[in-house]
Amino acid sequence: MQNRWMMQKLSVVTAETLSGLERLHVGRGPDGAPVLRGARCADCGLVYFPPIGICPSCASTDQAAEDMPRSGTLYSETTVHAAPPPWFTPYSVGYVDLPNGARVFGHLRGSPRIGDRVTLTTAVLGRDEDGRPVETFAFEKKEG
């Protein structure tokens, strides 16, 4: 007998179907600030990002879109010192624990430390072959 997840058709997101930050499931809130578009499983309640069409915990395909909180706590981080052109180095990445239970992996701006409160922003990673900036979501230390 095949697992339920093996029989589901999953939509493929490509550069041709979405552009810019939308490819990364990033939208803009009413105030213009970036917001991550995640999912909540209707069967087990797991909240996760990015939405992948199937729950990573119970394999249910019954899920609802959910905007992720914009702030969280830095769980872990590392700095990358080598990358192929045209990406800027060094850069930092890490996991951020959000208040809704999701743990999100993303780029870090500035120098947040483990345990710091961080907030969602955007960052330029490098430039594409036409010289245009390549943008992604990132987290930076929350002031105050």
User: What is the value of pTM for the model shown?
Assistant: 0.79
Asked if 100 and 68 count as a contact pair (C-beta separation under 8 A), the reply is yes
Beta bridge partners of 47: 40
Burial class of 55 by CB neighbour count within 10 A (0 to 12, 13 to 18, 19+): buried
Domain ranges of the chain: 14-141
The string of pLDDT tens digits covering residues 73-128 is: 999 999 999 987 767 789 899 999 999 999 999 999 999 999 999 999 998 887 77
The string of pLDDT tens digits covering residues 9-56 is: 333 334 444 445 566 688 888 898 899 999 999 999 999 999 988 999
Using CA atoms, how far residue 118 sits from 12, 34, 76, in Å, is 31, 14, 12
Nearest to 40 by CA among 98, 95, 119: 98
Nearest to 101 by CA among 143, 142, 141, 73: 73
Asked if 129 and 96 count as a contact pair (C-beta separation under 8 A), the reply is no
Confidence at residue 79, expressed as pLDDT on a 0 to 100 scale? 94
